[in-house]
Amino acid sequence: MSQAAPILLSFYGLSNGTKGLFTGQLTYSSLEDLSFKAYSSRRTFRTILALYRTRFFANQPITLRFNEGQTSAMTDASGSFFCTANIGTNQVSLEEIILHNGVHARILDDLYTRKIHVVTSPVIVISDIDDTLLHSNVSNAILKFRTLMFTSMENRKAVESMKNLILELHQGGAAACYVSNSEQNLYPLIYRFLLHNGFPPGPLFLKQMRKVRDVFRSTTLEEREIHKTRMLQEILQMFPEKRYFLLGDNTQLDLKIYLKIAAQYPDNIRYIIIRKVLGKSFSASYLNETTERLKAAGIGFHYAESFPSKFELS
């Protein structure tokens, strides 16, 4: 079902002080409440299903107008946009998104911040979501589907050891970013989950939106790797002077991706921290070789079910 104007389903503005990175999602939908607050299992299912049945605002020029200045962008085939632009010191928030016909996109309340986040911390924590911060049962397709579609946001379970770790790092001064292979359709649910559980604020970089039919098509390993690798590279290139903690788990390809990034940016990566999920493991020889290789590059490596409460940020 479509509306006269698409909704802005997600938005985040990130800045290093002189350059801004802006990302978001435009799609047609009749949904008015995407808060996921106090939803029943039935309403959770119906809302998520509806998010997979929206019509994309695809391949269209848009203008992002800020409190000062504006920039142009183009949506892709799924209605998402990703652009960078120089910004001034007084450019602090998104005011509206104007479509090519002069119509304004519908901006939803309480679903994202429109304020541009200027990162000043010397350390950035980049974390995966599924089975790193949120119990998602990625390795069990049936359980994953049932958990996603029928479990209310308040009843979704955080991974407490990883939550405590990222909060400890944030309290020590680190900024947070989230990079996940979940698709943009799930942005409202994941955003609300992070907010509800008190995770540090930060940009949430998700994959392109998908249709219902695509949910039952397994993504290839290459597809899973491309999105995370690209986003990590974008972040590190925008903040080349920062040090990074990379958080993930062993249900997908996090370690492989993080090792590739560490090889490309050895001076920037401080730690790679991988949560060991029950039933999944790497060989002892591989872990020993990885530990020694990263140690030689000055990078800490932790692979376990829980982690120390203190990490050196410097």
CATH number, position 278: 3.40.50.1000
Cα–Cα distance, 113 to 105 (Å, whole number) = 16
Among the candidates 118, 136, 156, a domain finishes at: 118
Q: Are residues 45 and 97 in the same domain?
A: yes
Cα–Cα distance, 134 to 190 (Å, whole number) = 9
Domain assignment present for 293: yes
The model carries a pTM of 0.93
Cα–Cα distance, 140 to 156 (Å, whole number) = 16
pLDDT of residue 1: 38
Strands 94-99 and 61-66, bridge-based pairing: antiparallel
From residue 19, alpha-carbon distances to 71, 87, 118, 158 in Å are 12, 5, 10, 33
pLDDT in tens, the chain (314 residues): 345 799 999 999 999 999 999 999 999 998 889 999 999 999 999 999 999 999 999 999 999 999 999 999 999 999 999 999 999 889 999 999 999 889 999 999 889 999 999 999 999 999 999 999 999 988 788 888 899 999 999 999 999 999 999 999 999 999 999 999 999 999 999 999 999 999 999 999 999 999 887 765 655 555 668 999 999 999 999 999 999 999 999 988 999 999 999 999 999 999 999 999 977 778 899 999 999 999 999 999 999 988 766 787 76
Q: Are residues 93 and 144 in the same domain?
A: no
Domain assignment present for 13: yes
DSSP 240-267: TT-EEEEEEESSSSHHHHHHHHHHH-TT
Strands 106-107 and 70-74, bridge-based pairing: unpaired
Contact predicate 79/25, CB 8 Å: yes
Domain assignment present for 181: yes
Quote the domain boundaries for residue 213: 123-304
Domain assignment present for 311: no
Classified as helix, coil or strand, 269 is strand
From residue 165, alpha-carbon distances to 158, 211, 306, 314 in Å are 12, 35, 9, 16
What is the CA 250 to chain-centroid distance, rounded? 18
**Contacts for 157 with CB less than 8 Å, ≥ 6 apart:** 134, 135
Q: Are residues 163 and 286 in the same domain?
A: yes
Cα–Cα distance, 290 to 28 (Å, whole number) = 46
Q: Are residues 142 and 106 in the same domain?
A: no
Cα–Cα distance, 33 to 152 (Å, whole number) = 15
Q: How many CA atoms lie within 13 A of 45 on its CB side?
A: 7
CATH code of the domain containing 30: 2.60.40
pLDDT of residue 291: 95
3-state helix, strand, coil in the chain (%, to 5): 30, 30, 40
Domain assignment present for 1: no
Number of domains present in the structure of the chain: 2
